Chain A
């Protein structure tokens, strides 16, 4: 397409001012099909270049244009949101799907183990019994995981399914999150005394994908968000306090005695820092908390110790709180940079 801005008579500052206006217009109309958006940009660009060439000062020409947000409104488009509910739904739904896949593998593994008749004294199972174990576990393991993966794929992959006008979250996408949350809750409750508990963190993440985007659509109260942040911090700091106490009691009052105690102290110090950062609403703190949660979940699966479920849940809760805090802090920074949207604390 022809580019009329190439006129040498315009100064570099004018060109920058024009491009800044056109960039703002493109951002404001980002949800229009590209050809329609570029037609509008070409209209405005041509007008500005023609007006500047006729001798009008560029600042005056730009001031006479309809502001990008008003342009959007004049086109009959709904006000453009900051996209936070959409991002939150996608991040939390995708996380729920990943955790659900691991839960499915663990459930399947548990069913295989419990179905193999152990031969007294040898510790060996019969290889031909494996398919029976797989078959019995496959429905309860695979069905909820498939629902979670499909829900995440629907929300993330086809842009038009989840993203409505003005970067809003479409009701259909919200309904998909509900279905996923119900399916993962059912997976938890169906076998509550057995493998159901593996599904608990995935179910929590799926419910967060339902609840958090709805909350982000509303204008939050400063007090409410601060309370939520420090509650999240308390969840990080409480086990740290208990753990430190346990280490001090078991190993005396010198926590630096031996390499293991030094490692404990380093972990405790790191978690205290993360807890305080989370309380202060730091995005880095929430990323660290989510990463720590994911790491603890991986360790739970790899170690398979006595308290494996407790460790798995703890990691799941940290992952959940880290991700929720992350989408909250992302919403806050987006809102502070988007005029006309309510800022969170």
Chain B
């Protein structure tokens, strides 16, 4: 009987992880743009920030997203040395990225409010 509970618990945890990954994946782009809108970040700094906030489980998944944002003109990259340290690769949001962030924020607020409302009804 105990084995059954353990198995059910494992399935529930697995399902929860899958849902979390799926929801985060769609939101990661918005989160990255929001962080870059505050200030420029280098890659590891950005990855650590997202992991610390629980917004991504895998720091490696950030780079395909950054490449897509760069291709879309939402993010630009540069090598920069600060305080005489080794040059690092910094990511900065562009005006296109800011427009995209504003639109995504609007959609997220509307959608999340609607989802909250729906969940409260049920």
Contacts and interface: CB of A to CB of B under 8 A. Distances in A.
Among the interface residues A42, A44, A46, A74, which one has the most CB atoms of the partner chain B within 10 A?
A: A46
Contacts of B42: 46, 50
B63 A71 contact: yes
Interface in A300-314: none
A66 B64 contact: yes
Contacts of A40: 63, 67
B58 A74 contact: no
Nearest to A64: B60
Contacts of B87: 2, 4
Nearest to A42: B89
Interface residues of A, number: 24
Contact of B59 (A7, A64, A71, A75): A64
A43 B63 contact: yes
A47 B77 contact: no
Nearest to A70: B64
A50 B88 contact: yes
B64 A51 contact: no
A71 B47 contact: no
Contacts of B59: 47, 64
B60 to A, nearest CB: 4
A50 B63 contact: no
B73 to A, nearest CB: 13
B77 A50 contact: no
B77 A43 contact: yes
B76 to A, nearest CB: 10
A74 B86 contact: no
B81 to A, nearest CB: 9
B88 to A, nearest CB: 7
Interface in B46-66: 47, 58-61, 63-66
Contacts of A53: 86
A46 B88 contact: yes
Nearest to B77: A39
Interface in A1-15: 1-2, 4, 7
A54 B63 contact: no
A65 B64 CA distance: 10
A51 B58 contact: no
A4 B86 contact: yes
Contacts of B86: 4, 7, 53
A46 B60 contact: no
Interface string A63-88: 01110001100111000000000000
Contacts of A128: none
Contacts of A44: 63
Nearest to B86: A4
B68 interface: yes
Contacts of B65: 74
Given A7-B86, A51-B44, A71 B77 contact: no
A36 interface: yes
Given A64-B58, A74-B65, A47 B70 contact: no
B5 interface: no
A66 B61 contact: yes
B60 A66 contact: yes
Contacts of B79: 1-2
Given A36-B71, A47-B47, A74 B61 contact: yes
A159 B86 CA distance: 39
Interface of B: 42-44, 47, 58-61, 63-68, 70-71, 77, 79, 86-89
Interface of A: 1-2, 4, 7, 36, 39-40, 42-44, 46-47, 50-51, 53-54, 64-66, 70-71, 74-76
Q: Which 5 A-B pairs have the closest CB atoms?
A: A74-B64, A65-B60, A46-B89, A50-B44, A47-B43
